[in-house]
Structure 1
C-alpha cells in the first residue's frame, strides 16, 4: 500500500447550500496529501465509521462543480480503528484540483491540489557503493546516493550495519560532527571505523572487526529520513552483502586487463580491474594522454560492481598509442593504494611514487 505524506490545508469558502470549511483540516481530522502518491485520511472522534464510502469520497475538480451527478475517484479504502484512509487507484496529478466530500456527520466539501513542487515522488536511496554481493571484510567506506538533497546530521539515526540476525553494530561507522556530504547533499560518504579494520589497534581487540569473512550483512537506511526541500521522507532501503576475504596486498596495474579500442573510432576503452576499486575515486583517478601528451576528454563509467572502468572519448581516437596515467593514491575499496596498504606496520616504507603510467597501442581500424 502506498505511503502517505500529509499537510493540513487551510481553505474557508462558503458555497450555497453546502458547508465548506477548514474545521476538519484545522482539527487534524482530515489529512490531505501533498504529493502525487498520497492518500486522504479522515479521523472520526466517535469511531462510528459505517461504510467508508458513505463518510469519505474524493472527486476530480473544484468544489463549486461537486458533487451531484459525478462519480467519485476509483480507489481502495482502509479502516483502522477510528481512521478511514482512501488510497486513489492512480497517482494524483500536479496542479489538478480535487474535492473531498465528507459526512462527519455534517456534509463538508474541502478542495485541495498537488502543486508542482510537492508532486515529486518521495526521496529515495538510488545506489550504495560498493555494490557487489561480496565485498572485502576490510572495506573502508560506503557511498550512499540519494535521489535528491537530504537533511544533514541524521546519519547515525538512520544508517545501520546489520548482521544476518538483524542486530545492528552501532560502533561500525565513524561519527563526525560534520558529515561527509558532496556539495548538493545527494551523496554521503559513510566511513567504517578504521580501528575495526586495522589489526591489533584501537577498537579492534576490544570489539573485533565489524565484518567477518563468510558472514552476511546489510547496509540499512531506515525509513523516514527527510529531504532538505520540504521534509518528505525516504522509504527504507537495504543492501545485503557477504564479507569476502580481506584485501591486504598492494594494488598492481599489471593485473589489469584492457579492451583496446580501434584507432579512428569512438570505441570505448575498457579496463577490468583485479579487485573492486573505490567508486568515487575511480571517476578521476585515471587520465588518458595522446601521443602529444594532451589529455583525451571523454566520459567515464564504473560498472561490474566497481571492477570495470569504461571510457568513451568525445572525439575519435587520433593517436595510435596512448598513455594511461593512474594516480598512485587511487584506492581499492579497502583503502589500499599504490603507495601503501591501509593496514600496515609503522615500519613499512611508503612507496615514493605519485603515478603509474601504462602505454597502450590501439588496434588498427581495419581489424
Structure 2
C-alpha cells in the first residue's frame, strides 16, 4: 500500500522518444483542459507559486536561470494548435522569456496580494503562448517576491516544486558564471504523451474500464445543502478558507489510521464522506481526488501535467462503526490506486452519466492531501519563503 500511495516506480521498458516528424498528440489530461479552455476560457486553470527572496538579488542571473529552465523543459515552451481537427502540441525551439521587474517599494501586504492575484488570474493563450511566465516584484533593495505562473496544461503541483528547486540551482550557477550541475532528463513531456496514447489504447484499457464502470454504475450527484440555488451553468466564482487542525486532533487521527493499517489520507477521506453523508442525507457518497501520475522513474524530474483524477465512492451505512467504515474506504482507495492509470477523461465518456451544465462530471467535491511544498530554503545567498496568493475561483463545490 505504501508503494502505491507513494507512486514508486516499477521496472519497465523506458519511454521511447516521440516521432517528431508527426504532429505531437496531447496526453489525456491535456485533452480535457484543451476542451475546457476552448469552451469556457478564463484563468481558472492557472497555476502559480510566489516566493519571497531576502538578500541582494542579481536580476540578470535570475533572468538567465529562468531562460535555462525554459530551455531544459519542453513543456515550458509548448503551445497548442489544431491539425486536421485534432489538438496537437507544438514545442517551440526557442522562447526568449523576459522577467519583468515591478517596483513596489514599501507595499502593504494587501497591495502585494492584489498584484499577485491579478497576475495569477491573467489568462494564457494556449495557441500563442508562452504558457509559463515569471514576474519579479521589488519591495526593497534586499527584498523581492518572485511569482512563477503557468497554465495547468503544461504543469502540476509536483512540477512547480521541480521548477523552484532547479531554478535555485540555476540561479546559483548563473551568479558564479558556471554550468549548473543538473542531470540530463531521460524524456520530455511530449514523449510521455505519445507513449501514453499508444499504451492506453485498445485492449490495454479494457481491464481498467471494466473496474471503473462497475464501480461507478448508477452514481448520483452529491446534494449538499446550500444557501442559494445552484446556477444553471456552473461558474468558478469562489474563495479559499484556511483553518488549522489542532495538533492533538491530527495526532489522534494518525494514530487511528495506523491502528487500522491504513493511511492518514484514507482516514481523512472516510471522515469527509461521513460528514457529507450527514450534510446531504444521502448514503452513497462519491468524492474526487488526484494521484501524481508519476509512477515511473523517468517522470520524477519532468515538468508537465501528469496528475490524474480518481473517483472514490463508498456506501455510508449508519449502523457501522467508524472503524468498520474506514475498512471499507481503505479497500476502495487501494482498488482505485490499482486502477489509477485509467484517464479520467476516458472514464467520463465510459460511465455515460447524464450531463448537467451546472455540475462537474461524476463528482462536485474533491478531497486532497498535499505533501509539504518542495521549496529550497535558500537561492544561493537569498533566503526563501512561500507567499500565499489569494484565490477567488473554485472548480468544485468544496
Normalized against structure 2, the TM-score is what? 0.21
Q: Which structure is larger by alpha-carbon Rg, 1 or 2?
A: 1
Greater relative contact order (CA < 8 Å, ≥ 6 in sequence): 2
Normalized against structure 1, the TM-score is what? 0.23
Greater share of helix: 2
